[in-house]
Amino acid sequence: MKSVFLALLAGALTQVALAGKPVPAGALTVREIHYAAQLADDEARLTVDLTAEATGESSLPLLAGDIAVLPTKLPAGLSLRRNQAAFQIVADRAGQYSCRLELVAKISRAEPWNQISFTGPAATIASVTAQAAGTNTEVQLLTGTLLATFKANGVSGVTGFLGAETSVALRWQGKVTEVARKVLFTVDSTITAQLTPTVIKYTSRFHYDIVQGSAAQLTLTLPAAQALTKLEGEQIRDWHTTSAGDAQTLTVEFIRPLEKAGELNLFSEQIVGTGATPAATELAPPQPLGAERESGSLTLFAEDTLVEIAALNGLRQVNAPENAVVAYRFNARPLALTLKLKPVEPVISLADRVNARVEETRLVIAHNLALDVQKAGIYSLELTTPAGFAVADVRGDGLEDWKMEAGKVRVNFSTRVLGGRKLTVQLEQAWKNFPEKIIIAPLRAAGNAQETAEIGVAAAPGIRRSR
């Protein structure tokens, strides 16, 4: 194979213009380039179709790597030059050019794969099509984005596009070799569970060590009632779930089979039953399937929730990280952990500094609220307003929106409130006739809240204040 490649390279060099006078660079642009590869165990031939545009006398690096360019006829005004291990395309004048080049690439062997790689020019559109004889052959695109794989009419192949990278890398092998090597892998799992009164949020990070073969897909299982919210990993082509009974199987397919190692990150949620009595909830984090061995850690965090361990099996308690409720290690599946969860009731303190201003036609009251939330966070606060007043405005840090309904204003926060927070609620009362007296009262918080108030009154010029 090496002698064939060198002979083709020597023949190609006689057809390529050697170095001459320097040619200006930067005014030649490749609009489209399409690589079509025919692969075999002893030869890799490629056809390169390109469309370029020149704004004047210009040149551009075209191809570099272990390749030979076969003799070809180029359009008038376009030539090809070789500079050591690279080829340069040269335009003598402005214009648009289309041409086809025939290449032979040197095959490198990385058991059980045949592989080729070289560098092409930057192009607005760059596509790759590669095929090899035999439907039992696997062809992989190692650079760019895979569009599709196909097996038809006695050939196997791939199609894809190159992005910012300009390198073309392909590898291929017969399926017989791959099937003979059974995939063996181990998994190291790092699982955290965030416990809240209504939902358990799992973050499951799986590190796969592949000790034999390569994995074109991986499968995991999780309860049917558990919702998968996000999946992260490199080179993922597609994923889907199938349900059977009270479990669902997640199948993850990869653009290129994983070799040596791989990572998967799963984010899932499990609904928790609500009620005043602590509910028994069994933790069921996602589990990899087909592993020779799995070991890892399980760490519990709680938010506004009291946690009681009811039962456990297959877990060994270890030192918990900061802010964690408890942490465990495990060396095998299945594992079991049953918890009793009870919501923590928030303790709310509300200090109201009331500033009232009496005008001829209306009463304007600004309630400057110092809100303090302890033990458990809140996402909303309900305030009761005095009768006859309209809410003109509500302002505060982290305020998402507010709504007035049936004499109450409901304030919603964009994030969980725990600790201090400032709010300002402005009320107005319009008059047709000036009243003899006015009544000013603080805002009242719904629920069991500790409340204090300070009231100050001012009058517009021309209005006398009396007690």
Sheet containing 184-195: give its strands across: 227-232, 261-271, 199-212, 184-195, 293-302, 326-330, 316-318
CATH code 3.30.420 for 2-178: no
State the Cα angle at 444 between 387 and 344, rounded to 5°.
Answer: 145
pLDDT (0 to 100) of residue 448: 62
Taking the C-alpha atoms of 15, 19, 20 and 25 in order, what is their torsion angle to the nearest 10 degrees? 110
At 25, is the pLDDT very low, low, confident or very high (cuts 50, 70, 90)? Answer: very low
- Residue 278 token pair: 């602590």
The H-or-E segment that residue 117 falls in is: strand 113-119
Q: What is the pLDDT of residues 181-235, one digit of tens each?
A: 678 999 999 999 999 888 899 999 999 999 988 898 999 999 998 999 999 999 8
Q: Which CATH architecture has domain 347-459?
A: Sandwich (2.60)
Identical fold for domains 184-343 and 347-459, yes or no, is yes
pLDDT (0 to 100) of residue 127: 95
- Residue 189 token pair: 């799992």
With a cut of 50, say whether residue 431 has pLDDT above it. yes
The three-state (H, E, C) secondary structure of 308-347, written as one string: EEEEEECCEEECCCCCCCEEEEECCCCCEEEEEEEECCCE
User: Would you list the domain boundaries of the chain?
Assistant: 2-178, 184-343, 347-459
With a cut of 80, say whether residue 3 has pLDDT above it. no
Q: In this structure, what are the phi and psi dihedrals at residue 460, rounded to the nearest 5 degrees? A: -70, 160
Listed in sequence order, the residues at least 6 apart from 7 whose beta carbon sits closer than 8 Å to its beta carbon are none
At 17, is the pLDDT very low, low, confident or very high (cuts 50, 70, 90)? Answer: very low
Question: What is the spatial distance between Cα 381 and Cα 447, in angstroms, rounded to a whole number?
Answer: 10
Listed range (74-88, 243-257, 315-329) with the worst mean pLDDT = 74-88
Q: Which CATH architecture has domain 184-343?
A: Sandwich (2.60)
3-state helix, strand, coil in the chain (%, to 5): 5, 65, 30
Polymer length of the chain = 467
With a cut of 70, say whether residue 439 has pLDDT above it. yes
pLDDT (0 to 100) of residue 5: 45
Q: In this structure, what are the phi and psi dihedrals at residue 23, rounded to the nearest 5 degrees? A: -115, 135
Nearest Cα to Cα of residue 236 among 263, 261, 267: 263
HSE toward the beta carbon, residue 113, CA cutoff 13 A: 18
- Buried b / exposed e along 325-345 (16+ C-beta atoms within 10 A): bbbbebeebebebebebebee
HSE toward the beta carbon, residue 174, CA cutoff 13 A: 7
Question: What is the spatial distance between Cα 399 and Cα 60, in angstroms, rounded to a whole number?
Answer: 57
CB 69 within 8 A of CB 87: yes
pLDDT (0 to 100) of residue 21: 43
Q: What single string gives the DSSP state of each residue in 258-315?
A: E-SEEEEEEEEEEE----SSPEEEE----EESS-SEEEEEEEEEESSEEEEEEEEES-
Q: What is the pTM of this model?
A: 0.53
CA 252 to chain centre: 15
